[in-house]
Structure 1
């Protein structure tokens, strides 16, 4: 069992306007995985949580693309500005302990290094790391080829 599976059921129920059950499933995810994965956020197809989704915190309005892998203890949320919520593209690997904060856009085909704090937009086809995160390398191939069978 994985937190993303329970999220998908809760999100389906939410989109069908079925009351209470999505909230119950959200709290179930919190109890089992110690994660906050609101049924209101948008997570694309083939996206998944590494290690079941332990310690993941997602903002309820965050948008996450297709084929995104989210490591353990990752936070995707806003800064002090109530309007700013991150938007994450397709084919993104978010390493363990990373923080993605504010109204920023993460491009497609991106690797975010472990324990990075991303507070600025990230272009397509690159690897970012550090506090605050900076582009450390550009990539000209699919990131999943670099990650060697991680997906």
Structure 2
């Protein structure tokens, strides 16, 4: 439901409709506790766990296809750095993770719960800790399929 509201707001924002996208953003915030500005690009098949509860997304962030974002995640800016995070296709962002500044989380990369990412995470990597560091890089054939649920 969060993404349905967001997609309507995003289209209206692209069409430069002045007030309705802001109202839809506020509706998402009140109903689901997610801050998801209409200007954010969200790919197909992206999943916000528990409808994005306590999740905050920067207005210039880009989120790819089939990304899984857990609860309490912040994808935002960083003081002194211009730009916003780019989350590539198939990434998994764990509960409470913070992705800060103009960083790129690679294709099928995983960010552990409560990690703070302030540097790029390569494709297929697993990053954990504060600040996050890469602890493993998976082979493409060994990447877990989080998008398949029973």
TM-score when normalising by structure 1: 0.91
Whole-Å separation in 2 of the counterparts to 1:103 and 1:56: 18
Q: Which residue of 2 aligns with 1:68?
A: 67
Q: Deviations over 1:75-134 (max 9, x none)?
A: 000110251311111110111100000111111111111111000111111111111111
- Find runs of 4+ consecutive structure 1 residues off by over 6 angstroms: none
Q: Point out where structure 1 has 5 or more consecutive residues left out of the alignment.
A: none
- Structure 1 pair 82–132 and aligned structure 2 pair: CA distance change class (3 A): closer
1:3 counterpart = 2:2: yes
Whole-Å separation in 2 of the counterparts to 1:108 and 1:142: 13
What's the secondary structure of 1:13's corresponding residue? helix
Measured on the aligned residues, the alpha-carbon RMSD in Å equals: 1.7
1:133 counterpart = 2:119: no
The number of aligned residues is 149
Q: Point out where structure 2 has 5 or more consecutive residues left out of the alignment.
A: none
The answer to whether the 8 A contact 1:91-1:143 is kept is no
Matches within 5 A, 1:59-98: 59-81=58-80, 83-98=82-97
Q: Which residue of 2 aligns with 1:119?
A: 118
Shift in Å, 1:149: 3.1
Shift in Å, 1:33: 1.4
Whole-Å separation in 2 of the counterparts to 1:148 and 1:10: 25
